[in-house]
Structure 1
Amino acid sequence: MRYDLDDLRLFTQVAAEGSITAGARVMHLSLPSASARVRALEAQAGVPLLIRERRGVRLTPAGATLARHAREVLAETTRLDNAVASYAVSSTAPIRLVAGGSAMHQLVPVALATFLREHPEYDVNVSERRTVRSVRLLAAGEADLGVILDDEPTSLRTEPLADDSLVVVGQAGGTLAGRTSIAYSEVAEHPLVGLDRNSPLTQWMDERLGPHAPAPRYRTVVPTLHMLITLATAGAGLAIVPRRAVDAIAALDICPLQDAWSTRAHLLCYAADAPESAHLLASHLHAAAGA
């Protein structure tokens, strides 16, 4: 026997709703059309599939078997469509996203995961850039969307995205135990672990601390926030990191900095001619920021 996929979709909806009327509404069909399709399925099967009652329908044993297998067939069809679609070449230019290292740690990967899964027709090129560079690329039309910090003036369209304030972290029960806040000048008196000199966060802090800030002792510097947080959690030293990166880690003591420069936020920044696909990606970044 040959089954029409739309008929199977309708039948699974009728089975789920317990009503041909409700199933027709979900499938955007008229009731006569839906009823005719169900009768044709029963004629093809050669057995009744539904027991029709005053307030809806119930599945016969044959109908329950058909509904179960139909759901499996439809799910497999969806997997088949997605597998074939993954080989298609996008007909649009990739979205060009620029963001700093802090956003790259969690925010951007979470947003990309949902966006790429839900929009197989779009590709995304991602570059890590400091805010000042991101703004220049967006202004020049060389990027479509950026996650920037709120301390760089721009005439481009921006909108609030997420808090990105910095905190000091250390091994639970260690130096920071019981502290509600701490100044950078005191933090610098303790052994630290940090990001390497080329990281956007390190460069951003150096600009705000200036040449007269106390020189800390770094036991080691590493290239990624993940490595930095791992070392701080293990007790290798204190670390200064974005709070969003560590809020869910129970094995750390987290202490806000007293210094005004530690309070900062992420903004979404759009190029003047950002494509509609960039706005779709922006909605996923907002969702990731609010998760």
Structure 2
Amino acid sequence: MRFDLVDLKLLIAVAEAHSITAGAERAHLALASASARIKGLEQTFGVELFKRGRRGVVLTAAGESLLDHARIIIANVEIMQGDLATFASGLRANVQLLANTVGLAEHLPQALAAFLREHPDINVDVEERESTDIAEAVASGRADLGFAAEHALPDTLERFAFGEDRLILVAGRRGPFAGRRQVDFAETAGQDFIGLTQGTALNVHIGKHAARLGIRQHVRARLRDFDAICQMVAAGVGIAIVPEAAARRCARLMPIGLIALRDAWASRRLVICARSFKALPRPAKLLVDHLRRAAS
């Protein structure tokens, strides 16, 4: 087989632009050269990769398959270049970890702090994403590891359990939910909410379920920190949905009531996931081993 990284980058660019002309521009190639490279790829694999039409090009099934492989290959090359660059700068390694809101706020800080103390030559880049986005990024090779809700992961990803995450309703000691032990999320319709800032993974997760029930949440304030949210609830400004671990911690210091949500989506199994734990670079494997011990 005769093809190179330029061919794969061109394939990705053309697929994303739905145009060989635009793809060639993105790949910094002349149109004639780009067309020849696409034809060369098709001849190499013996399949048609694109359907040509008046409005541009569309990937065939074979093209979709090659696109998935191309993205993984390019991502791995970029990771390799990044790792070698850190060696050149005097650092040893870098691990990419994507985590949902709950993992980032409640579960990972202590475990990561211990890992970084033990391994001063390894850096960990942690980025917050929604669990479905984490699954896609890990599956495509754009991230080494993910900390996500298991229900969002495809069967192709390897994983191990880290803990349980239960979302609960937090309310003031006085109000419509005073004395309640359990509620359905639908019962919160029309209530004032204290929510997370826009774009946070948990905010997106809750918003999706509100939309499915036709609930339009009236959000009085948006905050990034669970403790600050619970302080607002304690002051009687509104109700909130937060992780149980954060709610119980805050309840020891604040006059708030904790009410279980009966909805199935409120209980989630949290896992560490990867495309293949065995195939991870050594620094990522060290982090996986550390997180396994922390989970147990």
CA, structure 1 residues 236+286, in 2 after alignment: closer, same or farther (shift >3 Å)? Answer: farther
Q: What residue is the counterpart of 1:208 in the other structure?
A: 209
* Aligned amino acid, residue 179 of structure 2: G
Deviation at 1:212, TM superposition (A): 4.3
Deviation at 1:289? 5.0
Aligned equivalent of 2:288, options 268, 278, 282:
282
Identity in percent:
29
Deviations 1:36-75 (Å, cap 9, x if unpaired)? xxxxxxxxxxxxxxxxxxxxxxxxxxxxxxxxxxxxxxxx
Q: State how far apart, in whole Å, the 2-side matches of 1:131 and 1:177 are.
A: 32
Question: Rg larger in 1 or in 2?
Answer: 1
Separation of aligned partners in 1, 2:220 and 2:189: 12
Q: Which amino acid aligns with 2:146?
A: G
Q: Could you tell me how far apart the structure 2 residues matched to 1:253 and 1:277 are?
A: 43
Q: 1:255 aligns with which of 256, 259, 270?
A: 259
How far 1:168 sits from its partner (Å)? 0.3
Distance 1:150 1:129 in 2: 14
The aligned residue for residue 71 of structure 1 is none
In 2, Cα distance between equivalents of 1:265 and 1:224: 22
Deviation >6 Å, runs of 4+ = none
2:161–2:295 contact (8 Å) kept in structure 1: no
Structure 2, gaps ≥5 residues long: 1-88
Distance 1:209 1:147 in 2: 24
Deviation per CA, 1:118-175, whole angstroms, max 9, x where unpaired?
Answer: 1112111111111122122212222111101112232011111111121001234655
Deviates more, 1:168-177 or 1:110-119: 168-177
User: Counterparts of 2:268 and 2:169 in 1: how far apart (Å)?
Assistant: 15
Partner of 1:162 in structure 2? 163
Root-mean-square deviation (Å) = 2.3
Structure 1 unaligned regions, length at least 5 = 1-87
Residues 1-31 of structure 1: per-residue CA shift (max 9 Å, x gap): xxxxxxxxxxxxxxxxxxxxxxxxxxxxxxx
Q: Cα offset for 1:205?
A: 2.0
Aligned length: 202
TM-score by length of 1: 0.62
Structure 2 length-normalised TM? 0.62
Please state whether the residue corresponding to 1:135 is helix, strand or coil: helix
CA–CA distance in structure 1, aligned partners of residues 173 and 292 of structure 2: 31
Q: Is the 8 A contact 1:107 1:288 kept in 2?
A: no
Partner residue in 1 for 2:189: 188
Structure with more contact order per residue of length (Cα contacts < 8 Å, sep ≥ 6): 1
Rounded Cα–Cα distance in structure 1 between residues aligned with 2:245 and 2:259:
13
Q: Give the number of the structure whose residues are more often strand, by fraction.
A: 2
